[in-house]
Every structure is written in structure tokens, then in C-alpha cells.
Chains A and B, each alone.
Chain A
Amino acid sequence: MNSQNGRLYRWFSERYGVTKVVEFLRHKTVPVHRGSVWYYFGGVSLFLFIVQVLSGILLLLYYRVGAESSYESVQYIITKVPFGWLIRSIHSWGANLMVLAAMIHMFSVFFERAYVKPRELTWVTGFFLLALAMAFGFSGYLLPWNKLAFFATKVGTDIAGAIPWAGDFLLRLLRGSEDVTGATLSRFFGLHAAILPALFTVILAIHLMFVQVQGMSEPHLSPAQKKPPMPFFPNFVLRDMLLWLLVLNLLALLAVFLPWELGEKADPFAAAPAGIKPEWYFLGAFQMLKLLPAHLLGIEGELFGILGISLGLVLWVLFPWWDRWDPARPRKLWVKSVGILVVAGFLTLTIMGWVMQ
């Protein structure tokens, strides 16, 4: 590294021990195997998070929270602010792509069984990052204060209100009142622009630190299958950047050809429009709750569904403790079956929710 001889580098090195970090990066490698492509989805998720932060900051310059100003300010952004339409569309599409990339990343980790010892906490922090990304989506969806978002939030918070014991408290905590009002909007804005970013950044830092400390997980391969690893810098980093450029281009394509619609302003006194649907990543769970009968095993169907989903998520996050690493059994059919079942169930319910009114 020629720059190591530079004055600036020396200045930092003498004060902050940069050499250690550079040496670490110089020797860091990334395993190369048939599943290496999945490693890039972590980086894509990170890139999209950076895009969200930057585009979100730009939107903050003009967005004014309030039942009388949110819709108008977003309308102003997309019609008057130079390139405001692009920033807003990139922010909306970026949110969806981020959740998608994080989901692909999570399922690839699951199928590669990369969560096993010693990476249990990397899995757990990753799970929470995905949950926070979805919370970002849920809170951000309401912020333009349009008709669809208003009613989708009403339905979404109603579901939260059905949770036993804590439901009423949770409902009021989320809404700030009995119904979805300007108070809800303020709360969601605070959540979206302050609380969630802070939480996300902290957990992301921990997640990345775990990955750097433990290195990337390598699947169990026979010596014949093994390939020499790839240097993290510059090979993997440059490949990452190449993919980021393509993702940026995809975002621009979506923003230009499928601009995110603003729709009509929310009217609390208007009738709910037909076919209210949540964002696609909540659609599976929403559809499941719709399909359940009114009563199941002596309790309300909706409550049964909420309890079932909650239990499933707990089991999912604790999976590294269910599936212990055993060198004698590098592959487990039941783990793969669980993964396929979860993916197939999620996809089926999501498609059903999309197609059915």
C-alpha cells in the first residue's frame, strides 16, 4: 500500500494505530465456494441502508410533519423541489429493496447454516436488523399521510391492539390516541427519523463488528471442493462496489419508470377504500390472519394467529440453539426442510394476499 508512506497516513498512524486496522484488512480473506454470491446480499443491504439515510436526510429538509402539512410537504417535494421526485421515489423503492435484500441475506445464512456456533449472536443481531428495517417501513409508510397509508396503519395498529394484555397499551402507545390521528403521525415520525435510526445504527455496528471479528462463515466443504480464499481488500470490496453501482442503477430505473405514487390525502372521515393492503413484507402475515377462522382452540382466530406468528419468530431467532453444529453431520435435512417450508409459506401467503381482495 503506497499510501502507507504518505504524510497523512503517518500522522494518523502515529496517533490512532491505523496500521493495525490496515494490517487486519490486508490479511482478511473471504471464502470462495459455490455459495459465495450470497455474501454480497449483506453488503447490498448495508448499501441500501446508506441510501436510505442519505435520501431520508434530504427529504427531512422539506418534510413537515402534521396532519395538515405532511401530505402537502411531500406533494411539494415531488412537484417543486428540484429532483425531489427522484429522492422520494428512491427512498420508497430503497426501503422495499432493503427489506428484500436483508430477507435474502437472512435466508441464505439459514440455508448455509452460517448461524451455528460461534455466530449465534450475529444471527440474532441480523434478525433484529431485519425487524427494525420492517419497522422503518411500517412507520415510514404513514408519513406522507395519504389515504392508503392511513387505513393500512389503522389496520396494522388494530392488529397490535389485539395482542393479549398489552394490546390496549400498545395501541395507545403507537397511535397516541384512540384512533389514527395527527398524534400518530408525530409518533411515527419520531420513531422513523430518530429512534429507529439510532437503534439500527447501534445494532448494525455490533453486527458488522461480529462479522469482522469472526470472519465470514465458510460451509463445510471437502478438501477437493475447497478453493483459495479471496482477499477482502481490494477484491471483495471492489466486487461489492460493482454490485452497489448496479443496485443504484436499478433504483434509478424504478424511480424513473415506476415513480412512487402519492395518492389522495388521508381523510379520517372517509370510508375505507376497498382492498387495503399492507406493504408486501407484512402481506403474508396479514393474509394468514385473514384466513384463520373466527375462533380456534377456544380463542379468537386473530389472537391465535398473532400468538402463532410471535411463537414462530421466537423459535426462528433462537434457531442457532435448536440446531447445534455437529462435524459428523454437516448437512441436516430437517433444517433445510424447515427453511423451505418457511420460504414457501411466506411466498404462498404473500402471493395470496396480493391476488385476493
Chain B
Amino acid sequence: MRLSTWILTAALLFAFHSASAVPPKTDSCIKCHAGLDKKNAAIVAACEQDIHFQRGLSCADCHGGDPSKPDEDAMDPDLGFTGTPKRAEIPHFCSKCHSNPNYMRHFNPRINVDQEEKYATSHHGKLLAKGDPKVAMCTSCHGVHGILAVESTESPVHKSNIPATCNRCHGDKSYMASYGIPTNQYEEFSQSVHGVALLQKRTKGAPACNDCHGNHGASPPGVDDVAAVCILCHSFNGELFNKSPHKAAFAKAGFSQCAQCHNHHKIVHPTDEMLGVGKGAVCVECHAAGEQGYIAAARIKTLLDSLKVEQVDATSMLAEAKALDMDVVEGETAVEEIRENLIASRTAIHAFSDEHMAEVCQKGFDAASRADSIAKAAIFEFKFRRVGFGVATLILTGLALLLWLKIRQIEKRQRAARSKEKRN
């Protein structure tokens, strides 16, 4: 055996022996804290579920120190041990990793690393910077030990849990007393069309608090920014509003755009009764009788109501034709067009122009007129078919009768001829 072979074999044996001789890695943080008291034991237990632990991090990765050292030697400040951060220090404490793209890339290349930056611009962040220790920071929403991935339905920052998480502080009257803001947001939101969709129907696309207020940069939208928030989902309505005369008028009056009519958190399903100048109409809250806006609001409501009446009439006329077993498929298409036009008309309201509304509704009126004509033609056709059948039956029966008489005549003649033949 050559020397080089001897050396390689010896090196391999040494390496194998060294690997198998290393004792299993012990984490003195966990070892000690698990046995300290109930509170510490609970922290250690919670860490098992923690996303950081599951990705291979340990206590020392956040708190510093050397967990391979026994007992309190592990908590040596010279070994980088920082202990428990103060509340005001937490955003920076977390951002040591979360603001480091090179580090975070190893766990999730798409993860955002601007949380601390955004937080500093948020209402929470600004108050924290001013020394308010009560405001929310990272652990207020995400938890401390036992932090779960956002996608986990158990996480307090999972979409369906966000309203309740925000409500922990914002719904606490005594906690929020010093800020002078309402504490009924959750109550109102849960009754709103968005809240019902998110909390009761579990609709994934329904918005939670952060969809309007932002996540880490959370702040209340200003009166001029409400439409900018709503337009993210309600694009057609928002675009029409921005081009409408209300845009400038609301800005001048200091109204909060969409929320002026639809409310802030308690955004209930809008009804047609909100329109016009009747009872429950929001238009009359600003427009007095005789004003141009008042007249336009009344006309917009009349147009919408007329279209609904046309829809009912066309549908019932078509149902009558269908009940007669007539094929009115084109009429059904026209009724569907009316339904779609009603939706478009309810969107068109946000232009706050009776002329624009009339233009949009006209397509619905045309479809209603078409459906009505089709249904009437089908009902006429039904009657025509029966009358036609009656006439055809009369003709056929008459022909059959004539044939029968002809047969009788022929056979009578034949019988007479046969009798004559017999007599002869």
C-alpha cells in the first residue's frame, strides 16, 4: 500500500471517529429554562411551535449568548447575550434579521425586509418614537415566543384573525382612553358587509383591517385618501367618483369621500333607498330641495326604479310565455342583460350625473323592451299555433269526410254494379 493511500485511510477513519465521538448538541437555554418555573416552562413549550425554531433558530439567535456553555455561563454578555429587550427596542431587535435581505433570503427569497422602515412611518411607530410604551409593536400582533407563520390559521395575524388582534387594543376602552379615538371599530366592522364576508362567510378576498390601513405602516387614511383605499377593490366606483363633481366638493367640505355615504367601518350592503330624495336617502343630507343636486338625485333614483320595474315586467311576461312551453331563449338573454345593466347602473351612480345615469340605463331599457317584445311575440305565436291547428284540423277533417263520402259513393256504385251483374 502506498503512503498516500495510508494517509487517506487514516484521515477518513479519524473523520468518522471524530464525527461519531461529538456528543449531541445541547441547548443550555432550553435545558435550564424548562425547569425554572411554570412561566419559563410555558415559554419553552411555546417555542416548539415557533416558526423561528422550526427553521433551525434557537434562543441565542435572538437573545445572544452561547447555549453550548453550561448554566449561567451561557448568558455571558461577553458572548453577546442581550437578555430581554425593552418594548421600545423590540422593532429594532426583530429587524436585526428581518431587515437584512442577505440573511432573510435563506429562508424566503420573496419575504419583505422593510417592516422596521414602514413601522417607523406608522402611527404606532411614531408614538413609540415619542416614548409611548403602550403602542403596538412587533410582538403585540405577532406574539412573543411561539410566533406562527402568517399563513397559519392559528396565527393572530392570519387574515381572519386580524380584526380580533387589532381589537385587543383598539376595543379596550380603558387602554385607548388616552388616545381619544372610538373603540367600536370591531363591533362596526363585524356588522359590515366586509366583516360578514370575512368573519362569517370566511371569504378569502374580503378585506381585514390591514387591507385598508396597511400592515406595518398602519395609519388611518386621511379624508382625501379614502377613495384611494376603496378604489383598490372598487375600481369602477372609485374612478367614477374621482371624475365626479363630488370629488372637489367633498374635499372643500372636508368630507371623507366614500365613507361620507357608506360609513367607515360599518359599511353595510348599499340599498337603492340610499339614493334619491326619499326617506333613508343620503343625498338629502347635503342637497336641499330645489338644488341642482337634489333634482339630479331624484332623477337618478327614478331612472333606477324605472329600470327595476321594467325588469320585473319583462321577467313576468317572459315567465308567462315560458309557462306556455314557448322557446324564449333570446328573451332570457335580454333579461340577463337588464340584470347586468342594473349592476352597471348602480356603479354609474358614483358619477353623480343624471345624464350619465340615463345613458347607462338606456341599454337596460332597450333590453327590457326587447324582452317584452319577444315575450309578447311568443304569446301571440302560441295563440296563432292553436288557431292554426284548429283551422288545419277543420281542413283535414273536411278532406277526410269528403274521402269517406267518395268511398261510400264508389262502393255503393260497385254494389249496384255487382247486383246488376247477378241479376243478368
Give residues in A with beta carbon < 8 Å to B.
75, 78-79, 85-86, 231, 234-235, 238-239, 241-242, 245-246, 248-249, 252-253, 256-257, 259, 261-262
Contacts and interface: CB of A to CB of B under 8 A. Distances in A.
Contacts of B385: 86, 256
A238 B410 contact: yes
Given A79-B327, A79-B330, A256-B385, A249 B404 contact: no
Contact of A234 (B325, B327, B330, B410): B410
Interface in B394-424: 396-397, 399-400, 403-404, 406-407, 410-411, 414
Interface of B, secondary structure class, is helix
B407 A238 contact: yes
Contacts of B404: 242
B411 to A, nearest CB: 7
A79 B386 contact: no
B393 A252 contact: yes
A166 B407 CA distance: 54
| Among A238, A261, A262, residue most surrounded by chain B Cβ atoms (within 10 Å) | A238
A257 B393 CA distance: 13
A252 B400 contact: no
Contacts of A235: 407, 410-411, 414
Contact of A248 (B396, B410, B414): B396
A158 to B, nearest CB: 31
Contacts of A238: 403, 406-407, 410
15 contacts: A75-B327, A78-B327, A86-B385, A234-B407, A234-B410, A238-B407, A241-B403, A242-B403, A242-B407, A245-B400, A246-B400, A249-B397, A256-B385, A256-B388, A256-B389
Contacts of B407: 234-235, 238-239, 242
Contacts of A85: 327
Contact of B386 (A242, A256, A261): A256
A305 B393 CA distance: 45
Most buried by B among A79, A85, A261, A262: A79
Contact of B325 (A79, A249, A253, A259): A259
Contacts of A262: 327
Nearest to A258: B325
B232 interface: no
Contacts of B410: 234-235, 238
Contact of B403 (A75, A78, A245, A248): A245
A256 B396 CA distance: 15
Given A239-B407, A252-B393, A245 B327 contact: no
Given A238-B410, A249-B392, A252-B393, 20 more contacts: A78-B327, A79-B329, A85-B327, A231-B414, A235-B411, A238-B403, A238-B407, A239-B407, A242-B404, A245-B400, A245-B403, A246-B396, A249-B393, A249-B396, A249-B397, A252-B396, A253-B393, A256-B388, A261-B325, A262-B327
Nearest to A86: B385
Contacts of B330: 79
Nearest to A239: B407
Contact of A252 (B325, B389, B406): B389
Contacts of A231: 414
| Nearest 6 Cβ contacts at the A-B interface | A256-B389, A249-B396, A242-B403, A245-B400, A238-B407, A256-B385
B45 to A, nearest CB: 49
Interface residues of B, number: 21
Contact of B400 (A86, A234, A242): A242
A187 to B, nearest CB: 28
- Taking each of B389, B406, B414, which has the highest tally of chain A beta carbons within 10 Å of its own beta carbon? B389
A252 B327 contact: no
Contacts of A241: 403
A192 B51 CA distance: 68
A146 to B, nearest CB: 13
Best-buried of B325, B397, B403 by chain A (most CB within 10 Å): B403
B380 to A, nearest CB: 14
Nearest to B393: A249
A245 B389 contact: no
Contact of A75 (B329, B389, B396, B399): B329
A241 B393 CA distance: 16
A223 to B, nearest CB: 19
A59 to B, nearest CB: 16
Nearest to B374: A79
Contacts of A79: 327, 329-330
A87 to B, nearest CB: 13
Contacts of A256: 385-386, 388-389
A78 B385 CA distance: 13
A10 to B, nearest CB: 25
B213 to A, nearest CB: 43
A256 to B, nearest CB: 4
Contacts of A246: 396, 400
A262 B325 CA distance: 11
Contacts of A242: 400, 403-404, 407
Contacts of A234: 407, 410
Nearest to A231: B414
B38 to A, nearest CB: 57
Contacts of B396: 245-246, 248-249, 252
Nearest to B399: A245
A249 B396 CA distance: 7
Which of A75, A234, A245, A262 has the most chain B CB atoms inside 10 A of its CB?
A245
A98 B76 CA distance: 102
A252 B385 CA distance: 10
Contacts of B403: 238, 241-242, 245
B309 to A, nearest CB: 27
Given A241-B403, A242-B407, A248-B396, A253 B389 contact: yes
B338 to A, nearest CB: 20
Contacts of A78: 327
Contacts of B399: 245
A248 B396 CA distance: 8
A231 B414 CA distance: 10
A259 B326 CA distance: 9
B397 to A, nearest CB: 7
Contacts of B392: 249, 252
Contacts of B411: 235
Nearest to A248: B396
Contacts of A245: 396, 399-400, 403
Residue among B327, B397, B404 with most chain A CB within 10 A? B327
B108 to A, nearest CB: 38
Nearest to A261: B325
A248 to B, nearest CB: 6
Contacts of B389: 252-253, 256-257
A241 B404 CA distance: 10
A238 B409 CA distance: 12
A75 B389 CA distance: 22
A247 to B, nearest CB: 10
